[in-house]
């Protein structure tokens, strides 16, 4: 493995807050615990205003870059990450934000780490829910780390080594859905969210492309759209075949192969993207830094 995943991306770079992160712990277990204290999920606990958050803080879910997230966290509480934080001292966000902050800290300490986008089978029985976790290299191979869910012991496995059948990465989820090893109808953002694009094969394709981007250190928001990604629930035979091809290219690939797969116009992240920030009904253009 090269040093590709040790260096920061433009999304994970803490920028002006790098020195602040010097005080954070440097082992994976402590970093996971620290990341778990940094984000309050924007819908998992119900309406955030019922937990004391002003309605305007919902806009924190649009924070895209770790540097901006660290800035907001320092504004809320100048204590460096690593200890308990009251909910109101956390940023409002989602699984991607727990994970990006974990990866930002891990890379800061020289730990090879990357974001993985897929579906978790442990968040709600009987469903694979849209989810983002981290992956770290321990010197022998990659293992999945769950920064955004549960205290240690909350689930029947090690949060520092999530089983591959409990979290399906983008290519694993796509292949399982296409081969019948998993029911694509059980792959959703939320079971009660009746939006066709956010369920089944269309969303599995969405997360496949987001996972490829993340493997190339473009750690996007879950509601970003670019290239051939849109909010349509219809996939042409050509689109299905292309996703099959991408899943094959991503499986077990080294960084050179992943970079080559990402170099196609239909999946490479352009300077201007579209984003469908909840609860928006129509995508808005965003110019990336």
Contacts of 141 (CB under 8 A, 6+ apart): none
Q: Once rounded to an integer, what is the mean pLDDT over residues 258-262?
A: 96
Looking only at the bridges linking them, the beta strands covering 142-145 and 113-120 are unpaired
Lowest model confidence (mean pLDDT) among 5-9, 263-267, 279-283: 279-283
Does pTM top 0.75 for this prediction? yes
First-residue to last-residue Cα distance in the chain: 28
**Average of per-residue pLDDT values in the chain:** 96
| 8 Å CB contact between 188 and 222 | no
Phi-psi region of 216 (alpha: psi -120 to 50; beta: other; left: phi over 0): alpha
Q: How many CA atoms lie within 13 A of 194 on its CB side?
A: 0
User: What residue spans of 114-199 are helical by DSSP H?
Assistant: 170-179
pLDDT given at position 150: 80
| 8 Å CB contact between 218 and 12 | no
The answer on pLDDT for 152 being more than 70 is: no
- Neighbour count for residue 120 (Cβ, 10 Å): 23
Q: pLDDT tens digits for 45-77?
A: 999 999 999 999 999 999 999 999 999 999 999
Q: Which of 51, 123, 115, 61 is nearest to 92 (CA)?
A: 61
pLDDT given at position 281: 86
pLDDT given at position 109: 98
Helix (H, G, I), strand (E, B) or coil at 207: helix
DSSP H/E element including 205:
helix 200-215
Q: Once rounded to an integer, what is the mean pLDDT over residues 229-257?
A: 94
The answer on pLDDT for 213 being more than 60 is: yes
Tokens read off for 177: 């859905």
pLDDT given at position 2: 64
């Amino acid at each position: 493995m090269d040093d590709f995943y040790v260096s920061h991306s433009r999304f994970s770079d803490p920028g002006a807050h790098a020195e602040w992160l010097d005080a954070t712990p440097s082992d994976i277990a402590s970093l996971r615990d620290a990341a778990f204290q940094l984000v309050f999920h924007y819908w998992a606990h119900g309406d955030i205003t019922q937990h004391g958050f002003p309605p305007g803080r919902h806009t924190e879910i649009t924070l895209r870059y770790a540097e901006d997230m660290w800035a907001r966290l320092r504004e809320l509480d100048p204590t460096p990450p690593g200890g308990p934080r009251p909910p109101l001292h956390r940023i409002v966000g989602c699984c991607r934000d727990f994970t990006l902050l974990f990866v930002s800290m891990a890379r800061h300490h020289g730990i090879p780490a990357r974001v993985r986008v897929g579906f978790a089978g442990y968040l709600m029985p009987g469903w694979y829910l849209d989810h983002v976790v981290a992956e770290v290299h321990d010197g022998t191979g990659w293992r999945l780390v769950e920064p955004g869910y549960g205290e240690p012991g909350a689930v029947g496995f090690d949060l520092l080594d999530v089983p591959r059948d409990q979290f399906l990465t983008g290519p694993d989820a796509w292949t399982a859905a296409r081969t019948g090893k998993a029911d694509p109808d059980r792959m959703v953002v939320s079971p009660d969210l009746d939006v066709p694009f956010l369920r089944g094969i269309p969303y599995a394709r969405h997360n496949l492309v987001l996972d490829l981007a993340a493997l190339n250190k473009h750690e996007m928001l879950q509601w970003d759209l670019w290239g051939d990604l849109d909010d349509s629930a219809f996939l042409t035979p050509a689109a299905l075949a292309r996703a099959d091809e991408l899943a094959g290219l991503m499986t077990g690939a080294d960084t050179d192969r992943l970079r080559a797969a990402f170099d196609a116009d239909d999946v490479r992240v352009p300077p201007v993207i579209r984003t469908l920030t909840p609860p928006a009904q129509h995508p808005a253009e965003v110019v990336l830094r």
